[in-house]
Chains A and B, each alone.
Chain A
């Protein structure tokens, strides 16, 4: 099958490659760019392990063709940490509040939470639960994930306040 030339910005860096048009974004990220943070947990867009940020929206990258991401801005878990290399408040909070166990859902979960907190910086527990309902976790029972996201939201708010 003939390949197309794709270009996009991933985690702030311009990238390009040749890919069959049917190639899924998740496979391009994992196999061509070696960004193995986002995972594949189902074939049907239910689990959310492959969640990445595409032009400011959370998408399940198993359901996006790389062709659709041509020219886009993509952020994966590998691009969530602060520019100085320190961990983002969400990454710290997940560690602090035991928001992960096997770690397989974690990259998608944190990437989704990262977008959620931009959409709604001060979510209620119910809003967090609804906001991450496209991301499945089999280990934690979500309780500590919700706690982690709540703590990160508070941390980000106090950082913002301190900056102002």
Chain B
């Protein structure tokens, strides 16, 4: 071998495969304003749709008068429920087995509900006409408190299903009740708690928030009447599922529907659902014969499409007097709004909330969840988390802190004492999940050493003494949080959405000259799939990532998949990519054996080539094998080099992490200053460290927003109390602290490349860390738990109640 021959290490580096901090291929377009988002699409003759929405939380519609709106020049149509009824499209199925009004039928059930759809020549004329549609309402009493939804005298919200007492998830106890979900051994948990030396009890509420991606939801629907094909470009996190749902509800054959997700300006769960705007746009295009664009404005986004959380979790946790946890019990009251439009796998009406034993080896646990209707927007999506995992993680992480106070133990020590041990994996929790891998103690140890946890506690002690002496008005809080996510839904045997198994897919074509295209069933919304999936493939098939095009989001070209949410892209579609790559390699090996005139078993793979064992000079690179597959007649082999994989994961993946937050609270103003935030994530094999770090930064900032200020609140008659970005907290660069990131690597044993997914971890772990820090700041003054969001006013109120700012 001469000196010019690149070594295996050099060849591997050139691939920019797994572990490379490869720069993103998406960025050249985005930095020049050449993205292609749905509102950038402009088709000949396109009209614009806009909604007339309910001003009331609960009201009967007495009449709708379209005449004045229709008289406006440029207005083409005004659709109401009466127009959709002959098509049986005035209701649509939700992802949770309920139905949702597309346009309000006789009643409105939340402020902002869609009542009529105006179609006009541009958005200005549409907005003018919306104001002129006269709707006569009779206001009804509203339910804004989920705890009052099942009162004997509560108003009946859903008249359409008032006699249907068997719901999609079993019997309903009340007209406003949706489901009860129960997991675990009730007797064992109650026995453990009743016999325990120490029991802590707390009501942990996780307020209603909204994913609020910077781009709102929208679509362009275009019915081509000549060939009968309906194409919808839209903000869809699951384009294939949307196609199937659209076919089922419109009776248009599925091959005549094409769904395209163009560039998506952030999703965070908001763009998983099917919304009335999509249906109305499609109907309007079918009726008018021209394309229809519908784009939400921000107020519409925050008040009508897909809220998250609104979980009210009453918990009890028990332990021995020296801090060994013996039992956990939780009852959740879940506010689902006016229609049950939760985005959860069919068999899981409360998602994976039963991951709520968290990272701890708890011998007995029991969970019940009751879902109820209220006069609020429907939704219940996983806002940058897997299904209800953030709620579960927040619950257990607060409960462990509350227990630590009661035991007078350090919260980090209590966690270390109760962790599932490294040697217990794979670990089956009492609530039924099989955790794939973990090394929690190493992670928390590393975190505590890096931040000098002991030193921080000593500093806090000194701060508290100084506060009591009147030398400072600031209190220091230290938040410890540990989380275990459950992502990558999921095995088809127990996870489906509307009957569609939650596998995912990748199809690869190698071109004759050794470059490639791979198409997947997922869709990036900023995660950088075009960059990272090419890296997975580069390592599998030895073609440089720069020579691999990744394409997603067009149902006419991409293989079927369930889309991107719940951190499932890497665990499921990433696995499909690796598996399809291995099929390519297997065929390439057969071609190499033929060309090198050896038995396949005498060949070994080396970075980008097959070489004869013991004689590396005799080899064929993947590029050579690709060309051969197109120009050589090889006995027993079809020409070409293509592969497809539909991957059904054997289990979910369980990323974990240790987060530490240090903050200072000014008790006189309630202003909270996050001084330091350290996040250690273990997402298994790391595909692109640069992108992982970026995902963690972003997720932590969303966690900061939730913990410190976000809330979609309603008043007693159902008015939304603020739904613009003036009221709904999105931190700016000024409030956002600098983030410190770190990692350990514990690969998933069942994933082809050991990766677990990371995008959502920082939101799951971050919220608990911030909230634990705020609670910790006041712990020595007797506080056990105060509800989020910890905005200045609420923090100030907490200080006031504790008598600290008089």
Chain A residues whose C-beta falls within 8 Å of the C-beta of B525 in the assembled complex? 102
Chain B residues whose C-beta falls within 8 Å of the C-beta of A81 in the assembled complex? 32
What size tier do the contact residues of chain A reach?
35 or more
Q: With contacts A103-B26, A138-B730, A142-B701 known, is A36 near B528, CB below 8 A?
A: no
Most buried by A among B27, B268, B527, B736: B27
Question: Is the beta-carbon distance between A102 and B526 smaller than 8 angstroms?
Answer: yes
Question: Is the beta-carbon distance between B33 and A95 smaller than 8 angstroms?
Answer: no
Question: Is the beta-carbon distance between A106 and B30 smaller than 8 angstroms?
Answer: yes
Which secondary structure dominates chain A's binding surface?
Answer: loop
Q: Which residue of the partner chain A has the closest CB to B704? A: A141
Question: Is the beta-carbon distance between B23 and A95 smaller than 8 angstroms?
Answer: yes
A159 within 8 A of B: no
CA A30 to CA B295, docked complex, whole Å: 14
Instruction: List the one stretch of B35-43, B164-172, B324-332, B594-602 in contact with chain A.
Output: B35-43
**Contact with A130, one of B214, B700, B734 (Cβ below 8 angstroms):** B734
Q: Which residue of the partner chain A has the closest CB to B266? A: A102
Apart from A36-B37, A143-B736, what are 14 other A-B pairs with CB-CB below 8 Å? Answer: A22-B124, A38-B33, A39-B39, A39-B214, A40-B39, A41-B216, A78-B32, A94-B31, A104-B266, A129-B732, A130-B733, A134-B732, A140-B698, A145-B733
Within the complex, the shortest CB–CB distance from B580 to chain A, in Å, comes to 26
Chain B residues whose C-beta falls within 8 Å of the C-beta of A143 in the assembled complex? 697, 736, 738-739
A124 within 8 A of B: no
CA A87 to CA B30, docked complex, whole Å: 12
A57 within 8 A of B: no
Chain B residues whose C-beta falls within 8 Å of the C-beta of A36 in the assembled complex? 33, 35, 37, 39-40
Within the complex, the shortest CB–CB distance from B75 to chain A, in Å, comes to 14
Question: Is the beta-carbon distance between A87 and B32 smaller than 8 angstroms?
Answer: yes
**Contact with B24, one of A43, A76, A98 (Cβ below 8 angstroms):** A98
Taking CB atoms and an 8 Å cut-off, the chain A residues in 43-79 that contact chain B are 43-44, 46-47, 49, 76-78
Question: Is the beta-carbon distance between B725 and A31 smaller than 8 angstroms?
Answer: no
Question: Is the beta-carbon distance between B37 and A78 smaller than 8 angstroms?
Answer: no
Question: Is the beta-carbon distance between A133 and B725 smaller than 8 angstroms?
Answer: no
**Contact with A102, one of B264, B299, B725, B730 (Cβ below 8 angstroms):** B264
CA A5 to CA B266, docked complex, whole Å: 37
Taking CB atoms and an 8 Å cut-off, the chain A residues in 106-160 that contact chain B are 106-107, 110, 128-130, 132-146
Q: Which residue of the partner chain B has the closest CB to A144? A: B694
Taking CB atoms and an 8 Å cut-off, the chain A residues in 73-94 that contact chain B are 76-78, 80-81, 87, 91, 94
Q: With contacts A130-B734, A143-B739, A144-B697 known, is A44 near B724, CB below 8 A?
A: yes
**Contact with B31, one of A20, A39, A46, A91 (Cβ below 8 angstroms):** A91
Question: Is the beta-carbon distance between B725 and A44 smaller than 8 angstroms?
Answer: yes
Question: Is the beta-carbon distance between A138 and B124 smaller than 8 angstroms?
Answer: no
CA A96 to CA B701, docked complex, whole Å: 21
Chain B residues whose C-beta falls within 8 Å of the C-beta of A2 in the assembled complex? none
B340 within 8 A of A: no
Q: Which residue of the partner chain B has the closest CB to A100? A: B30
Question: Is the beta-carbon distance between B27 and A141 smaller than 8 angstroms?
Answer: no
Q: With contacts A44-B298, A136-B214 known, is A95 near B31, CB below 8 A?
A: yes
Residues of B within 8 A of A (CB): 23-24, 26-35, 37, 39-40, 42, 122-124, 212-216, 263-266, 268, 295, 297-299, 525-528, 690-691, 693-695, 697-702, 724-726, 730, 732-734, 736, 738-739
Chain B residues whose C-beta falls within 8 Å of the C-beta of A137 in the assembled complex? 214, 733
**Contact with A98, one of B213, B298, B694 (Cβ below 8 angstroms):** B694
Within the complex, the shortest CB–CB distance from A139 to chain B, in Å, comes to 5
Question: Is the beta-carbon distance between B697 and A102 smaller than 8 angstroms?
Answer: no
Chain A residues whose C-beta falls within 8 Å of the C-beta of B265 in the assembled complex? 39, 41, 102-104
Q: What are 23 A-B contacts with C-beta separation under 8 Å? A: A37-B32, A39-B214, A39-B215, A42-B297, A47-B298, A91-B31, A94-B31, A98-B24, A98-B690, A102-B213, A102-B264, A103-B526, A106-B30, A106-B31, A106-B35, A130-B734, A133-B732, A135-B732, A138-B698, A140-B698, A141-B739, A144-B694, A145-B733
Chain B residues whose C-beta falls within 8 Å of the C-beta of A96 in the assembled complex? 23
Question: Is the beta-carbon distance between A41 and B214 smaller than 8 angstroms?
Answer: yes
CA A76 to CA B32, docked complex, whole Å: 10
Question: Is the beta-carbon distance between A47 and B214 smaller than 8 angstroms?
Answer: yes
**Contact with A43, one of B34, B298, B526 (Cβ below 8 angstroms):** B298
Within the complex, the shortest CB–CB distance from B785 to chain A, in Å, comes to 27
Chain A residues whose C-beta falls within 8 Å of the C-beta of B733 in the assembled complex? 128-130, 132-133, 135, 137, 142, 145-146
Q: With contacts A20-B124, A22-B124, A101-B698 known, is A138 near B34, CB below 8 A?
A: no
Question: Is the beta-carbon distance between A42 and B37 smaller than 8 angstroms?
Answer: no
Within the complex, the shortest CB–CB distance from B158 to chain A, in Å, comes to 31
**Contact with A100, one of B31, B40, B213, B724 (Cβ below 8 angstroms):** B31
Q: Which residue of the partner chain B has the closest CB to A104? A: B265
Question: Is the beta-carbon distance between A110 and B725 smaller than 8 angstroms?
Answer: no
Chain A residues whose C-beta falls within 8 Å of the C-beta of B212 in the assembled complex? 138
Question: Is the beta-carbon distance between B694 and A140 smaller than 8 angstroms?
Answer: yes
CA A94 to CA B526, docked complex, whole Å: 14
CA A107 to CA B35, docked complex, whole Å: 10
Question: Is the beta-carbon distance between B214 and A100 smaller than 8 angstroms?
Answer: no
A105 within 8 A of B: yes
Within the complex, the shortest CB–CB distance from B30 to chain A, in Å, comes to 3
Question: Is the beta-carbon distance between A141 and B213 smaller than 8 angstroms?
Answer: no
Q: With contacts A42-B724, A94-B31, A140-B698 known, is A101 near B214, CB below 8 A?
A: no
CA A42 to CA B728, docked complex, whole Å: 12
Chain B residues whose C-beta falls within 8 Å of the C-beta of A95 in the assembled complex? 23-24, 27-28, 31
Chain A residues whose C-beta falls within 8 Å of the C-beta of B40 in the assembled complex? 30, 36
Q: Which residue of the partner chain A has the closest CB to B725? A: A46
Chain A residues whose C-beta falls within 8 Å of the C-beta of B693 in the assembled complex? 98
Chain A residues whose C-beta falls within 8 Å of the C-beta of B39 in the assembled complex? 30, 36, 39-40
Chain A residues whose C-beta falls within 8 Å of the C-beta of B263 in the assembled complex? 102-103
Chain B residues whose C-beta falls within 8 Å of the C-beta of A41 in the assembled complex? 214-216, 265, 298
Q: Which residue of the partner chain B has the closest CB to A23? A: B124
A35 within 8 A of B: yes
Q: Which residue of the partner chain B has the closest CB to A93? A: B31
Within the complex, the shortest CB–CB distance from A137 to chain B, in Å, comes to 7
Within the complex, the shortest CB–CB distance from B565 to chain A, in Å, comes to 14
CA A34 to CA B30, docked complex, whole Å: 16
Within the complex, the shortest CB–CB distance from A133 to chain B, in Å, comes to 4
Chain B residues whose C-beta falls within 8 Å of the C-beta of A39 in the assembled complex? 37, 39, 214-215, 265
Chain A residues whose C-beta falls within 8 Å of the C-beta of B702 in the assembled complex? 138
CA A44 to CA B725, docked complex, whole Å: 7
Chain A residues whose C-beta falls within 8 Å of the C-beta of B697 in the assembled complex? 140-144
Chain B residues whose C-beta falls within 8 Å of the C-beta of A35 in the assembled complex? 33
